[in-house]
């Protein structure tokens, strides 16, 4: 008797153009896990189900994960997607219904990313697609493209973490905090990696995730060791080229780099907040980390670096009572002015 194939055809109906078609899937009995990497990438022995997890309509190129593809969409969204996808055809026909090589797999994820952007999905869902695209480029040995997708995934995971109180995409908060730390570590941003691994380790639910706790502690030690042996370097977006592809993907919206490290329910929001880009010196970040850890040691609650900075600024505003420094031309001048104003007694 012939051995049962790892592949079988599964039927789908496109929610945009109503085309019925089949796409390959992997039998669960034929899935063999070989290794799991520190950023959740699974290396399989034989057929890889991740390679077939994105379903692409052969008519309109609507693409989504196999768990979401058939989900009905509002009629206004269907019309908008239909018109948008019609304006972005592939440069050459690709058959996604057969066995896929890595180029075809990556293209399927690029199409899913494009579709997700057009649908304006939650940042956690988009982050998961970007991370998976990074895994595929890693499998293909394309380090530049992998770095690009990891960077974009990190930006969207940060945005998603700040918006959610319990989960980020299909990850729990503790899983997301660990993964953000891992992505910072892969950027060689060791101080941020240490901070996020701390957030995972000190999370109230960490004991319910023993595997994550072990990984977070291992990667925390690795990040600390790397920080001792190398200067802090944060890759610049300008140094990363968007990878070439057969599909004209829409570049994900830029998400400002924010100082926030975690959510806290210890104090209510007093005012509306706005995001702004902030770049800090390594010793400043380490100082903020020390305050985060001091606060946790005393209260067993995590206060974010963003909250700490807001408290410092509010303290300055209150202490200076409306007085503002003047006649400064650089950072050092301003620091001297502020110190002098704080040391001067009020009339």
Average pLDDT over residues 147-152: 96
**Chain segment 295-326, per-residue pLDDT in tens:** 766 775 667 777 888 888 888 888 887 788 88
- The whole-angstrom separation of Cα 73 and Cα 18 is 12
Has residue 115 got a pLDDT over 90?
A: yes
* Number of Cβ within a 10 Å radius of residue 326: 7
- Mean pLDDT lowest among 7-16, 186-195, 235-244: 235-244
How far is residue 217 from each of residues 107, 190, 203, measured CA to CA in Å?
35, 14, 13
- Mean pLDDT lowest among 77-81, 104-108, 202-206, 267-271: 267-271
Bigger pLDDT: 266 or 110? 110
- The whole-angstrom separation of Cα 47 and Cα 302 is 42
* Residue 160 per-residue DSSP state: H
Q: What pLDDT is recorded for position 308?
A: 86
Q: What pLDDT is recorded for position 257?
A: 30
Residue 165: pLDDT band with limits 50, 70, 90: low
**Chain segment 38-57, per-residue pLDDT in tens:** 999 999 999 999 999 999 99
Q: What pLDDT is recorded for position 3?
A: 76
Q: Which residues contact 312 (CB under 8 A, 6 or more apart)?
A: none
Residue 135: pLDDT band with limits 50, 70, 90: very high
Average pLDDT over residues 200-212: 92
Taking alpha carbons only, the member of 130, 204, 215, 129 closest to residue 172 is 204
């Amino acid at each position: 008797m012939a051995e049962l194939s790892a592949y079988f055809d599964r039927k789908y109906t496109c929610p945009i153009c109503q085309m019925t078609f089949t796409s390959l899937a992997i039998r669960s009995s034929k899935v063999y896990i070989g290794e799991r990497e520190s950023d959740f990438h699974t290396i399989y022995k034989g057929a890889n189900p991740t390679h077939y997890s994105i379903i692409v309509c052969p008519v309109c190129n609507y693409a989504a994960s196999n768990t979401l593809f058939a989900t009905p969409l509002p009629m206004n969204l269907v019309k908008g997607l239909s018109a948008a996808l019609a304006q972005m055809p592939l440069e050459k026909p690709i058959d996604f219904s057969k066995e896929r090589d890595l180029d075809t797999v990556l293209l399927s994820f690029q199409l899913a990313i494009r579709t997700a952007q057009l649908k304006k999905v939650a940042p956690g869902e988009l982050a998961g697609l970007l991370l998976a695209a990074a895994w595929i480029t890693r499998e293909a040995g394309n380090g530049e493209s992998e770095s690009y997708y990891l960077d974009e995934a990190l930006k969207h995971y940060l945005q998603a973490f700040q918006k959610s109180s319990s989960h980020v995409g299909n990850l729990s908060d503790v899983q997301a905090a660990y993964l953000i730390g891992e992505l910072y570590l892969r950027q060689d941003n060791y101080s941020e990696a240490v901070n996020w691994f701390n957030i995972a380790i000190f999370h109230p639910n960490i004991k319910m995730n023993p595997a994550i706790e072990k990984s977070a502690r291992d990667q925390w030690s690795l990040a600390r060791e790397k920080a001792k042996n190398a200067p802090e370097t944060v890759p610049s977006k300008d140094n990363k080229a968007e990878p070439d592809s057969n599909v004209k993907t829409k570049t994900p919206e830029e998400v400002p780099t924010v100082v926030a490290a975690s959510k806290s329910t210890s104090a209510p929001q007093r005012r509306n907040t706005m995001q702004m880009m902030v770049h800090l010196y390594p010793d400043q970040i380490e100082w903020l980390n020390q305050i985060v850890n001091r606060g946790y040691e005393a209260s067993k609650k995590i206060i974010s670096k963003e909250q700490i900075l807001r408290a410092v600024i509010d303290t300055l505003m209150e202490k200076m009572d409306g007085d503002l420094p003047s006649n400064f031309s650089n950072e050092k001048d301003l620091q001297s002015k502020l110190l002098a104003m704080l040391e001067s007694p009020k009339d």
